[in-house]
């Protein structure tokens, strides 16, 4: 029983590590900077 719980905890930690790696690894300060809306970005007056 204890071995099953240990394996489940390890699988959960691996899942959290994969999600963190794919979302935040390589980004400075975690999130992308906000971009301008497309309708204003291409408009020239």
Integer Cα distance of 19 and 17 in angstroms: 6
pLDDT value of residue 39: 63
pLDDT number for residue 18: 96
At 25 the pLDDT is: 76
Give the integer Cα–Cα distance in Å for 18 and 34. Answer: 25
Quote the pTM value. Answer: 0.55
Could you list the mean pLDDT of each consecutive 10-residue stretch along the chain, which spans 45 residues?
Answer: 97 96 75 68 57
pLDDT attached to residue 40: 59
pLDDT given at position 2: 95
User: Cα dist. 1→7, 14, 44 in Å?
Assistant: 10, 20, 67
């Amino acid at each position: 029983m204890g071995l099953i719980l240990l394996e489940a905890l390890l699988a959960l930690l691996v899942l959290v590590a994969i999600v963190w790696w794919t979302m935040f690894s390589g980004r400075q300060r975690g999130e992308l900077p906000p971009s301008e809306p497309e309708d204003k970005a291409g408009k020239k007056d």
